[in-house]
Amino acid sequence: MKRRSLGRSALSVSEICLGTMTFGSMANERESLAILDHAYAAGVNFLDVAEVYPVPPEAKWAGRSEEIVGKWLADKPRAAVFLATKVAGPGGGWFQAPVREGNTGLDRHSIERACEASLRRLGTDYVDLYQTHWPDRVVPVDEQMEALDRLVEAGKVRYLGCSNETAYGLARSLWVSDIRGFARHQTIQNNWSLLNRRFEDELAEVCREEKVSLIPYSPLGAGVLSGKYQNGAWPVGARFSLYREYNPRGKAMSERFVNPRSLETTGRLLDLAREAGISPVTLAIGWTLTKSFVGSTIIGATRVDQLRDSLAAAEVKLSGDVLRACETITREILYPLG
């Protein structure tokens, strides 16, 4: 599998990153370990976890994904695997979980405690990429970046990144790092796919100009682009089927992703993939890898067999006609005034 650099860092990671959000909940430990083995054998050397995982969030599960990854990592050469994890910060509503007492934001104390706890669960003395999971607009950016910089200086973290951030937030943090001499964010992990192209409005320009790599999550629109929700289907055990039953916030999130416009777009993309002779999963993930600002695209799985079409995206070559069709379909339906 091909490698890509992340930002201005020395990290050279597989262009497919394995996300672990379901490890310990939708995927039990045995299946999670099998997924890790299969992805690693296929050349995936980049893993993404978080202190709040798995999702759906429950206090009894928080940190379980890191524990499973730590167990798997125990007999692997540490330098051969690139680990990314996240400090939760103030939370993002649906994903907020009581990971640690007094988890109120990205203050110095919370960041240091979160990192130490993640290292214990992962069974390692450092992580390659440490990310803020959600923005904190209360704690001064200077304090946040100084606390993160101290982790780099201590050797507990190699590089920094952010997640679910805005163009303003990313640019401001880079400015603070530049003027204060702190380690800077090398990556940003945001939701981006053929169903959600808002990243391209402003953030893509910041990434290109400042040499920050996007690590997109949900390249399948949280599974919608696979076609599983077409024709009114709500498959048993599927993410949004579970979310709809979980609480009002989960229902709202499911409707945000599964709606008439997203389903119409998906239907046309399914036809396009069929004409191109590839899986719609391969098409959706392969499309993300054609963008210069992408460092590595996060895929997820709850079963080993789900990895096949996702991993195939690293090898597929999408034609110009297919790429132009993707552009037309998403712009016509999702962004008619763009």
State the Cα torsion 331-6-67-148 to the nearest 10°: -110
What is the rounded CA–CA span in Å between residue 18 and residue 16?
7
Residues in the chain: 338
- Identify whether the C-beta of residue 244 lies closer than 8 Å to the C-beta of residue 236: no
Alpha-carbon distance of 312 to 282, in angstroms, equals 6
Residue 243 annotated to the active site: no
- Determine the Cα–Cα distance for residues 280 and 306; give it in Å rounded to an integer: 13
Whether residue 73 contacts residue 81, with contact meaning beta carbons closer than 8 Å, is answered with yes
Neighbours of 275 (CB within 10 A): 11
Query: Position 247: which residue type?
Result: N
CA angle 215, 220, 223 (to 5 degrees): 130
Residues 6+ apart with CB under 8 A from 201: none
Q: What is the CA radius of gyration of the chain?
A: 19
User: Taking every pair of C-alpha atoms in the chain, what is the biggest distance, in angstroms?
Assistant: 54
What is the DSSP pairing of strand 12-14 with strand 82-87? Answer: unpaired
Tokens of 263: 């389903």
Query: Of residues 40, 53, 217, 246, which has the active-site annotation?
Result: 53
Distance CA 136, CA 133 (A): 9
Which pair of structure tokens corresponds to residue 338?
A: 């763009």
Active centre residues (catalytic): 53
